[in-house]
Amino acid sequence: MLSRLVSKAIRAPAYRNVRFMSATTFEFTPFKGFKLEELPENKAEATKEECMGYFRTMSKYRRFEITADTLYKQRLIRGFCHLYDGQEAIITGVEAALTYTDSIITSYRCHAHQMSRGDTAANTFGELLGRDIGCSRGKGGSMHMYNKENNFYGGNGIVGAQVPLGAGLAFAHKYNGDGGVSVTMYGDGAANQGQVFEAANMAALWKLPCIFVCENNQYGMGTSVERHAANSNFYTRGSYIPGLWIDGMDVLAVKKGFEFASQWCRDGNGPLFVECQTYRYHGHSMSDPGVSYRTREEVQSVRKGRDCIENMRNLIIDQGWADAAELKAIEKEIRKEIDEAVKIAKAATELPADHLTDDIYYNERPKFIRLIDEQTSLHN
């Protein structure tokens, strides 16, 4: 398996830099294109403040997911739970290139996305723990995050089902003329779903501002891309839609790539397929130990060689913007912040049982709603 990773040139970004006043220009792994006449240059300017922000944001998402792992094992989080650790550079880079005018919709691996769209860690934990402070008042759980106010539409539990919805969001942006784009995210496992291609066809016909984003973390559940995809170059899957490949373990590359992709859509060119090559450290979900179809050595090799947070840490230290002790202090602050968020979530109340059917029925609820038995059923 390690040879497979090496053969795909999955390596840490080899940053080269040229200093310009307060910003520094970094070079990273080149983009790959499909049916694009020009590709963005594999260089990006970044300041100390930006890079420190990326480090803090990605570290916060990582600590959140590690804590969610612990809460799940303590049986405080129930049901399905899919963690995002390893993939933090993608949503961090995407958000750095977009505004809340743009829409984001994704799969069930969505905790970081909820926070990136403006929700607090405490509220997000609240949803995981089934508390009233959660975005769905605790009724949705891990897979059903949502923040309409800032154009985040989930958090979708059915594999690939968010892709047609994302095309619909793109249609709404075009219809309303608000200049926004729809970032429609899915995994490599969902890339083989027929609805992906149906949505892409409509988006191409109507030139919708939709960025179809495949977060390729190398495994569809427990099946490697070589075994589940006849064409594992997911950025070329659009056929009649151009595509862009991005190193999804490099936040600077992701930001630069999505600046290009969003401008492509805003210019009226129609949709774009984007593949962000990445890696998840946990199994597919908390019920998957993640070592039956890959070795522990493979996971460790990615942690040591390509981890998005460690690479940003090294960049910051190499630039002299902070030393190891200062970055460790930031991580300690984040740990305290996340621990406090858990306390707030645990202290929050659960939704009363008589509110179980809220947000389901329009206007008045039926006079009788059958639940487990007569005693627990609702009589209105």
DSSP per residue over 287-326, as a string?
T--S-SSS-HHHHHHHHHHT-HHHHHHHHHHHHTS--HHH
Q: What is the per-residue pLDDT for 4?
A: 34
Q: What is the per-residue pLDDT for 287?
A: 87
- Residues in CB range of 75: below 8 A, 6 or more apart: none
By the 8 A CB rule, do 203 and 210 touch?
yes
In this structure, how many other beta carbons lie within 10 angstroms of the beta carbon of residue 378? 15
Q: What is the per-residue pLDDT for 17?
A: 52
**Average pLDDT by consecutive 10-residue portion of the chain (380 residues)?**
34 48 89 97 96 98 97 94 96 98 97 97 97 94 94 93 97 97 96 96 98 96 92 94 98 98 98 97 89 91 95 97 98 98 97 82 78 77
Comparing C-alpha atoms, which of 343, 342, 344 is closest to residue 66? Answer: 342
Going by the DSSP 8-state scheme, the letter that residue 371 receives in this structure is -
Q: What is the per-residue pLDDT for 16?
A: 47
By the 8 A CB rule, do 88 and 53 touch?
no
Going by the DSSP 8-state scheme, the letter that residue 131 receives in this structure is B
Q: What is the per-residue pLDDT for 95?
A: 98
Spatial strand order of the sheet with 272-277 comes to 32-34, 243-247, 272-277, 210-216, 182-187, 103-105
For 55, 216, 252, the CA distances from 66, given in Å and listed in that order, are: 16, 21, 24
Q: What is the per-residue pLDDT for 166?
A: 98
